[in-house]
Copies of this chain bind each other. A is one copy, B any other.
Amino acid sequence: MDEKKITVKSPANIAFIKYWGQKDEKEIIPYNDSFSMNLSHCFTMVTVELQEDAVIQELYIKDYKSTVFERSTGESLKRVIDFYSKVRSLLDAKAVFGFRIYSENSFPKKAGIASSASFFSGLTRAFLKGFGMELPERQISILARLSGSGSACRSIPDGFCWWKKGKNSATSYAETIAPPDFWALRDIVLILSSREKTVSSQEGHRYAKTSPFFFPRLKGIARRTESIRRAFFRKDLEEFGAILEQETISLHTVMMTQSPPLYYWSGKTIETIKKIVQFRKKGIPHYFTIDAGENIHIICEKKDEKRIAEYYKNQPEVEEILINYPVVGSRILS
């Protein structure tokens, strides 16, 4: 049996305009465009050992700060197997291979830092290589979207990425709107707790529409996508940050008003939001955004990074901080 090993480094991404709710659950078509930045220090190393014509299908995960890979079964493994079948079928690939997947996160998973995006974007590239296929970036982004972790499509292209909702599977993909060095933004992740969330984003998406604020939110997003794009290209952090925070609160209000309600925030989240609003008054521009989890991402410019990091890492609510700059997308290393 031939065996080959593929290693992919794939970043998580932080969304400035969020993806929440699926117009087409099967094809993972979102209701709205979203906009994100790839993160330098929150990434997943995905190593796939392939065995041609074999049936082995195994998944090993090394958690953040753990020293060993542990075998994963159940739902996580099932998603990987389903994705393998889907990729194979979509590519109309003749080859069959077994796999052992090793996934290693540089950050806590399931805590609102898009760990499934980094993992599945990496796995997309690895499977593609496994099948011996090369595709244009757009097609790879579409495949990553179909993994089920929709936002994985934003971890394929470089730097600052825009996911066009599209009209169907072929037109719903992410692409770079500015390279990593366009704007020296920082995402300082405040880890308030590394406990895993109890409701997955996948599950949450399904009930997004039950919120009476879901469709009103979409109207707001239509305005925000235009204005945040303008603020971004002007590098107007104040305007950018104001939209960022509106977007975050809008997302979480939808979550909290879904049936069943989703309270991703913890007490530390709301206390930290208040601290950010206060500390900003000292004239240091920095803004919060929060994904589907309790941890907070602070967006600021490189010039203010040190003062902001210093202040927040000393807050009792903050377990640790991770500082990210914009980087390229998912890459095959070997």
**Separation of A217 and B213 alpha carbons in the complex (Å):** 8
**Separation of A250 and B216 alpha carbons in the complex (Å):** 13
A153 to chain B, nearest CB (A): 27
In the assembled complex, which residues on chain B have CB atoms less than 8 Å from the CB atom of A245?
A: 261
Report the copy number of this chain in the oligomer: 2
A273 interface contact, C-beta 8 A = yes
Known: A216-B216, A219-B212. A265 touches B270 (CB 8 A): yes
Which B-chain residue is minimally distant from A242 (CB atoms)?
B259
Question: Are the C-beta atoms of B263 and A257 separated by less than 8 Å?
Answer: no
Question: Are the C-beta atoms of B257 and A266 separated by less than 8 Å?
Answer: no
Which B-chain residue is minimally distant from A256 (CB atoms)?
B249
Known: A216-B212, A250-B257, A256-B249. A270 touches B274 (CB 8 A): no
Contact with B along A252-264 (1 / 0, CB 8 A): 0100110001010
Known: A266-B267, A267-B267, A267-B268. A212 touches B250 (CB 8 A): yes
Question: Are the C-beta atoms of A263 and B253 separated by less than 8 Å?
Answer: no
A174 to chain B, nearest CB (A): 26
Q: Choose one: B253, B269, B274, B277; the contact of A213 (CB below 8 Å).
A: B253
**Which of A249, A261, A266 has most B Cβ within 10 Å?**
A249
A117 to chain B, nearest CB (A): 26
A34 to chain B, nearest CB (A): 18
In the assembled complex, which residues on chain B have CB atoms less than 8 Å from the CB atom of A265?
A: 270
Question: Are the C-beta atoms of B257 and A253 separated by less than 8 Å?
Answer: yes
**Separation of A35 and B106 alpha carbons in the complex (Å):** 51
A271 interface contact, C-beta 8 A = yes
**A 197-226 contacts with B by CB, 8 A:** 212-213, 215-217, 219-220
In the assembled complex, which residues on chain B have CB atoms less than 8 Å from the CB atom of A213?
A: 213, 216-217, 250, 253
In the assembled complex, which residues on chain B have CB atoms less than 8 Å from the CB atom of A263?
A: 270, 273-274, 277
Known: A212-B220, A213-B213, A249-B256. A270 touches B266 (CB 8 A): yes
- With A249-B253, A270-B270 already in contact, 17 other A-B pairs whose C-beta atoms are closer than 8 Å: A212-B216, A212-B250, A213-B213, A213-B216, A213-B217, A213-B250, A213-B253, A249-B256, A249-B257, A249-B261, A263-B273, A263-B274, A263-B277, A266-B270, A266-B271, A267-B268, A267-B270
